[in-house]
Amino acid sequence: MRRPVPGAGRPAVLRAGLAVLLFTALTGCSGGVGSWFDGAPRSPEEAIRVVPEDDARDVRAGSPLEVTVPEGRLERVKVLRVEDAERQEVRGRISADGTSWQPDAADASARLVLAAKYTVHAVAVDEDGKRQARTTSFTTFVPEERFIGYFKPENRSTVGTGMILSFSFNRPIRDRAAVERAIRVTSRPAVPVVGHWFGKERLDFRPRTYWKPGTRVTADIRLRDVQAAPGVYGIQHKTVGFTVGRHQTALVDAAAHTMTVTRDGEVLAEVPISAGTAKNPTYNGKMVVSEMQDVTRMNGRTVGFGGEYDIADVPHAVRLTSSGTFLHGNYWARGVFGSRNTSHGCIGLRDVKGGSESTPAGWFFDRTLIGDVVEVVNSTDRNVAPDNGLGGWNMGWDQWTAGSALR
């Protein structure tokens, strides 16, 4: 028996859905925006300014780190430093007038360090009480004779059964076999885990099928002094891992405008959605949740759509691809969920401005883990590329293993 989404006020099939966000400021899709925003909003860069700039590389240790707003006030700022899959929050303070955030000068851990990746997520409120968000990232300098791999998921995290381990290297890897051999991935209970290279800078690992709930996965990283290219050596020597939680999947039928959420073999709910239009359809295939934000900004210019939309406060954003496909809350569209596809390629659920746990979007967000799989069927678009986000489940096992440098 199908269960209703809590708080939706109707049994069995609910009314929901439309569009999404991204990790390094790529932001996906929207539809039916119309005149939801009074006047032309500032661009994300103008509304919330971050130093170092988005996607900066080789930032030197000790460089300034600051978030400012020319108008309104900062509501919250969260800065994370990632080193060897360890995420540590950088402590800082918002100024008394709310116009700036800076790291805590008394905290040594707040200083920029070498060979690290930083993400900045800031939310600001203008004079009319309207929220807007911005997410940026940058990496600090790695000595030219060294290389480092940035690892997903976070160390000691609990993830969904579709999680794929992904290493992104800061330099092209010439001796891929040596690097792959130096990363040993094991699990309890034990299953074969094989690596697959996407180009020269990315190596993903997965088993033949989804992980069994409760599995503990360990990556033994022994890259220190491994030669990846002439004169370029690794610096990492660490063991990281994660635990697999319950098994949850979401099946999106773009033609029927529904999403069926199943956990451990039981259907939790069937939720109405709105997917991509015929002009901008949603990808088919299996996509793995790789990031979640309670609020984000979506700007069509960041993904090649020009000035078609710029929404400052999209709620409950669940990232599915690196190219900008999201599953997110939608408060501006009316009468489309369960009946029409209106987005630029994202999947939308009914929501309210500011987000609410009682809406379909809030309900799904609260029950989702990074590593959960969202599969789209019956769209008019092609299958999502295996290297677009964590899309490796769209490859058969033989094709996957053929991409290993050790086979």
- DSSP H/E element including 330: strand 326-330
**Strands in 141-247 per DSSP E:** 146-147, 149-152, 157-159, 165-169, 183-188, 193-197, 202-207, 216-222, 227-229, 232-234, 237-244
Domain segments of the chain: what residues? Answer: 45-140, 146-245+397-402, 248-393
Spatial distance between the Cα atoms of 181 and 183, rounded to a whole number of angstroms: 6
Contact between 123 and 75 (Cβ < 8 Å): yes
SS (H, E, C) 217-234: EEEEEECECCEEECCEEE
**Strands in 254-309 per DSSP E:** 258-263, 266-272, 285-288, 291-299
| 401: helix, strand or coil | helix
Bridge partner residues of 102 (DSSP) = 93
Residues present in the chain in total? 407
Known active-site residue 344: no
Task: Find the catalytic residue in 121, 196, 257, 328.
Answer: 328
| 178: helix, strand or coil | helix
Task: Find the catalytic residue in 29, 121, 196, 346.
Answer: 346
**Assigned token pair, 141:** 């300098």
Cα 30 to chain centroid distance, Å, stands at 17
- CATH number given to 45-140: 2.60.40.3780
* Dihedral of the alpha carbons of 282, 283, 287, 293, in degrees to the nearest 10: -30
Residue ranges in the chain modelled with pLDDT below 50: 1-27, 30-41
Closest C-alpha among 21, 18, 35, 32 to residue 302? 21
Contact between 92 and 101 (Cβ < 8 Å): yes
| Predicted local confidence at residue 35, as pLDDT | 27
| Predicted local confidence at residue 298, as pLDDT | 84
pLDDT tens-place string over residues 98-139 = 999 999 988 877 888 888 899 999 999 988 888 999 999 999
Contact between 50 and 92 (Cβ < 8 Å): no
N- to C-terminal Cα distance for the chain? 46
Topology agreement, domain 45-140 and domain 248-393: no
Spatial distance between the Cα atoms of 320 and 314, rounded to a whole number of angstroms: 15
Spatial distance between the Cα atoms of 407 and 405, rounded to a whole number of angstroms: 6
What pTM value is reported for the model?
Answer: 0.79
How wide is the angle at C-alpha 372 spanned by C-alphas 368 and 376, nearest 5°?
105
| Predicted local confidence at residue 84, as pLDDT | 62
Known active-site residue 328: yes
| Predicted local confidence at residue 1, as pLDDT | 35
| Predicted local confidence at residue 273, as pLDDT | 98
Q: CATH number of the domain at 248-393, out of 2.40.440.10, 3.30.70.20, 3.10.105.10, 1.20.1440.130? A: 2.40.440.10
Domain with residues 146-245+397-402, CATH architecture: Sandwich (2.60)
Strands of the sheet containing 92-94, edge to edge, are 49-51, 66-68, 100-103, 92-94
Contact between 58 and 139 (Cβ < 8 Å): yes
Phi first, then psi: give them for residue 144, nearest 5 degrees.
-60, -25
- DSSP H/E element including 297: strand 291-299
Closest C-alpha among 245, 243, 273 to residue 261? 273
pLDDT tens-place string over residues 353-378 = 999 999 999 999 999 999 999 999 99
| Predicted local confidence at residue 308, as pLDDT | 59
Spatial distance between the Cα atoms of 100 and 119, rounded to a whole number of angstroms: 17
